A and B are shown apart, each in its own frame.
Chain A
Amino acid sequence: MSLVLPAEGGLRRVIGDGADLPDGRVDGLTTEDLLGLYRNLVLLRTYDERSVVYHRQGRIGTYAIFWNHEAMQAGSAFALEERDWIFPSYRESAIGLLRGIPASTILSWWRGHPSGWWSPKEYNVASICVPIGTHVSHAVGLAWGSSLKGEDRVAVAYFGDGATSEGSFHEGATFAGVMNAPAILFCNNNQWAISTPVSAQTAAPTLADKAIGYGMPGVRVDGGDVLAVYEATREAVERARTGGGPTFIEAVTYRAAPHATADDPSSYIDQERVDAERANECVGRYAAYLARLGVLSDDQSQEIKDEALELMRAGIEAAEAEPQADIGLVFEHAYAAPPPGLADDLAELRRVLGE
């Protein structure tokens, strides 16, 4: 087991502020990598912004916004290999874009169409987990089970600050520690669980402080700094691969958008803080960093944004072109070997519907 130190107090940062705080560098990242990360950030940002528009247009249903969470998702995913597993919550609904899941598939999920339910093993991206924190133990089970088979696989579970209050989180983290699972518990602490602030979730000074109780290192990172997130995750992946067990990463940001399209945060959120966060949002911060490095030109940036917009345009078009799902899918796959009564139910339903 790795040595467990008290959780870090400050936030790890790499990207400077363009003024007093100097830019850092992450060893081992090529220019191509730096641009790849930017492309991923823009893809997620575009997905999110377009989804809010599609929702307003009535083209997708209720949608969980992840605006300004892109650095946490893109940065951490960049530290993984294809064989590693991602266990998203609904806040990371589109993280599979980075693994090749088509935009139309994820949009279909938010449209409630069966084509939105992908095969996890095809992408090593688990299904979107809706009940809070309940997938932490799934990631731990997969990581532990893979290591029992001698496979080199890391699993990352993503969840929010509120999830750390759930019993599921506690039990999953307990197993991660005891089984020395090659898992990463990635907490995107955006400081709000709908209207409940993180101060009402725990009396612990930081969420990362919880890690010591599970016998794993807890690190804190600026969730708006994609390079700091990448570096922290890379370190956790390395620890997991070399038998050092799990890591808890607390990435700290501030939720600068509603919880979901059905939420109006004006009654509870600190608008000044939101404005400050929006002015310092994670994609712009990274673009400025790359510009200071001389790696990203305005033209390149525009090209990447146009690509992402086109991908979304084609994605929503494909999602909307999906044929009406057959009602047989209500019954199909409820069981691998279904009890006989279900076939009777479907036959009766078809008869009543005159099919």
Chain B
Amino acid sequence: MSERFLVEAVNDALHAEMERDPSVLVMGEDVGRLGGVFRATAGLQERFGESRCVDTPLAEAGILGTAVGLCMAGWRPVVEMQYDAFSYPSLEQLINHVGRYHWRTRGTMIFPLTIRMPYGGGVRAPELHDDSPETYYVHTPGVKVAIPSTPADAKGLLTAAIRDPDPVVVFEPKLHYRSAKADVPDGEHVVPLGEARVVREGTDVTLIAYGAMVPVAERAATVLEGEASCEVLDLRSLKPLDEEALLGSVARTGRAVVIQEAPRVAGFGAEVAAVLAEKAIFDLQGPVLRVTGYDVPYPYWQIEDAYMPSVERVVDAVRRLLATS
């Protein structure tokens, strides 16, 4: 075990996987000489050379498109998108090819690429450095999505993503890149995709969250102590989704509040609510509530906190739910 920041755990996973598998190649904007704008790839180019930690042109569709070709040549590329919203030009490749090419070859070729990117707001940054675009990715067939909330999971999920035979997108909560150190297992550490984590057990309501919303849910649960017993479930992986853990928790508590930083409409919270409506309706004692970002452009950073799902909004949702059920 070592105490590490989340971004250091990412770096640790990259070092370990590049050491273990010579076909792993890291590529992206500023990942090499600089070591990434957040230093997630620091030291990789010195250790593994310029051909395995590649500084690319500023061309996200080209980065992801060449990564598809690299897979065909037998590489296992780990692509960094510098920021959440910077990844949008690459969606053309993601939707048209990354999620489809394995199918197109009728399973005869694999495209085991990993896309990792810092995501989310609260960092007082210029426009389009704050988005939570997971819905675009999770809605794309053929693509898996993981979102860690702790340093240990950041390492374990990224390791699982790199080893997975399918394309996996890992969103890293940039707000928590250096917010607090936590224990991270040394050496090999894999958190399988599709396994949620019960962060805190409770009996009255399940707070369902992922990424940067997990600490918000935890703080809300603390505020509500003595008033409501909150279970906090960290999904960790949006696809595959751990339905068993989700349904099991709601069966115990009978109430669910889903928390998501992304805009509300058709966000992943809606998927969670739909799964609960289809499969847990008789366990539910009240409506499934969502606490989310709003259907607006991510706001000016001086007032961005008003957009973000806050502890207060989660506490309010739980109180409303308990009052009606």
Number of interface residues of A (CB under 8 A): 48
CB distance from B273 to the nearest CB of A (A): 16
CB distance from A114 to the nearest CB of B (A): 7
CA distance A306 to B93 in the complex (A): 42
Are the C-beta atoms of A333 and B102 separated by less than 8 Å? yes
Are the C-beta atoms of A141 and B68 separated by less than 8 Å? yes
* Proximity bits, A121-149, B CB within 8 Å = 1, else 0: 11000110011001111111111111011
> Closest residue of chain A to B165, judged by CB?
A336
> Closest residue of chain A to B62, judged by CB?
A171
Chain B residues within an 8 Å CB radius of A168: 61-62, 65, 92-93
CA distance A119 to B194 in the complex (A): 29
Q: Is B142 an interface residue (CB 8 A)?
A: yes
CB distance from B118 to the nearest CB of A (A): 22
Q: Is A167 an interface residue (CB 8 A)?
A: yes
Q: Is A275 an interface residue (CB 8 A)?
A: no
Cβ contact of A174, chosen from B62, B71, B89, cutoff 8 A: B62
Are the C-beta atoms of A144 and B70 separated by less than 8 Å? yes
> Closest residue of chain A to B103, judged by CB?
A333
Are the C-beta atoms of A140 and B66 separated by less than 8 Å? yes
Are the C-beta atoms of B103 and A145 separated by less than 8 Å? no
Are the C-beta atoms of B239 and A339 separated by less than 8 Å? yes
Q: Is A340 an interface residue (CB 8 A)?
A: yes
Chain A residues within an 8 Å CB radius of B240: 339-341
Are the C-beta atoms of B106 and A142 separated by less than 8 Å? no
Whether A141 contacts B110 in the complex (CB less than 8 A), given A117-B104, A168-B61, A335-B102, comes out as: no
> Closest residue of chain B to A179, judged by CB?
B66
Are the C-beta atoms of B57 and A149 separated by less than 8 Å? no
Q: Is A54 an interface residue (CB 8 A)?
A: no
CB distance from A123 to the nearest CB of B (A): 11
Are the C-beta atoms of A120 and B109 separated by less than 8 Å? yes
Chain B residues within an 8 Å CB radius of A130: 96
Whether A137 contacts B66 in the complex (CB less than 8 A), given A145-B75, A175-B56, comes out as: yes
Cβ contact of B66, chosen from A114, A121, A141, A333, cutoff 8 A: A141
CA distance A138 to B96 in the complex (A): 12
Are the C-beta atoms of B69 and A138 separated by less than 8 Å? yes
Which residue of A139, A332, A335 has the most chain B CB atoms within 10 A of its CB atom?
A: A335
Q: Is B241 an interface residue (CB 8 A)?
A: yes
CA distance A130 to B100 in the complex (A): 12
CB distance from B236 to the nearest CB of A (A): 14
Q: Is A160 an interface residue (CB 8 A)?
A: no
Q: Is B51 an interface residue (CB 8 A)?
A: yes
Chain B residues within an 8 Å CB radius of A114: 106
Are the C-beta atoms of A339 and B72 separated by less than 8 Å? no
CA distance A130 to B95 in the complex (A): 13
CA distance A153 to B73 in the complex (A): 10
Q: Is B37 an interface residue (CB 8 A)?
A: no
Number of interface residues of B (CB under 8 A): 46
CB distance from B23 to the nearest CB of A (A): 9
Task: Report B91-116 residues with CB < 8 Å from chain A CB.
Answer: 92-93, 96-97, 101-110, 112
Are the C-beta atoms of B165 and A145 separated by less than 8 Å? no
Are the C-beta atoms of A134 and B103 separated by less than 8 Å? no
CB distance from A342 to the nearest CB of B (A): 10
CA distance A155 to B56 in the complex (A): 20
> Closest residue of chain A to B242, judged by CB?
A340
Chain B residues within an 8 Å CB radius of A139: 69
Are the C-beta atoms of A119 and B65 separated by less than 8 Å? no
Q: Is A334 an interface residue (CB 8 A)?
A: yes
CB distance from B140 to the nearest CB of A (A): 11
> Closest residue of chain A to B90, judged by CB?
A171
CB distance from A92 to the nearest CB of B (A): 16
Whether A336 contacts B110 in the complex (CB less than 8 A), given A137-B65, A137-B69, A142-B73, comes out as: yes
> Closest residue of chain B to A171, judged by CB?
B62
CA distance A137 to B63 in the complex (A): 8
Chain B residues within an 8 Å CB radius of A340: 194, 240, 243
Chain B residues within an 8 Å CB radius of A126: 72
Task: Report A71-103 residues with CB < 8 Å from chain B CB.
Answer: 85
Q: Is A293 an interface residue (CB 8 A)?
A: no
* Proximity bits, B19-42, A CB within 8 Å = 1, else 0: 000000100000000000000000
Are the C-beta atoms of A149 and B74 separated by less than 8 Å? yes
Are the C-beta atoms of B69 and A171 separated by less than 8 Å? no
Are the C-beta atoms of B109 and A145 separated by less than 8 Å? no
Are the C-beta atoms of A137 and B104 separated by less than 8 Å? no
Which residue of B67, B89, B97 has the most chain A CB atoms within 10 A of its CB atom?
A: B97
Q: Is B283 an interface residue (CB 8 A)?
A: no
Are the C-beta atoms of B72 and A138 separated by less than 8 Å? yes
Chain B residues within an 8 Å CB radius of A341: 240-241, 243
Q: Is A224 an interface residue (CB 8 A)?
A: no
Whether A175 contacts B66 in the complex (CB less than 8 A), given A137-B93, A335-B142, comes out as: yes
CA distance A137 to B101 in the complex (A): 14
Chain B residues within an 8 Å CB radius of A151: 73
CB distance from B53 to the nearest CB of A (A): 12
Which residue of A117, A118, A141, A142 has the most chain B CB atoms within 10 A of its CB atom?
A: A141
Are the C-beta atoms of A149 and B73 separated by less than 8 Å? yes
CA distance A333 to B74 in the complex (A): 19
Q: Is A172 an interface residue (CB 8 A)?
A: yes
CB distance from B252 to the nearest CB of A (A): 22
Could you list 14 A-B pairs, sorted by A, with CB under 8 Å? A117-B106, A121-B108, A134-B93, A137-B68, A138-B66, A138-B68, A144-B73, A145-B73, A145-B74, A172-B65, A175-B59, A178-B56, A334-B102, A337-B164
Which 3 A-B residue pairings sit nearest by Cβ, starting from the closest?
A141-B69, A137-B65, A145-B73
Residues of A participating in the B interface, judged by any CB pair closer than 8 Å: 85, 114, 117-122, 126-127, 130-131, 134-146, 148-149, 151, 153, 155, 167-168, 170-172, 174-175, 178-179, 332-337, 339-341
With A143-B69, A148-B51, A175-B57 given, can you name 4 additional A-B contacts, CB distance below 8 Å?
A137-B66, A142-B72, A334-B103, A337-B166
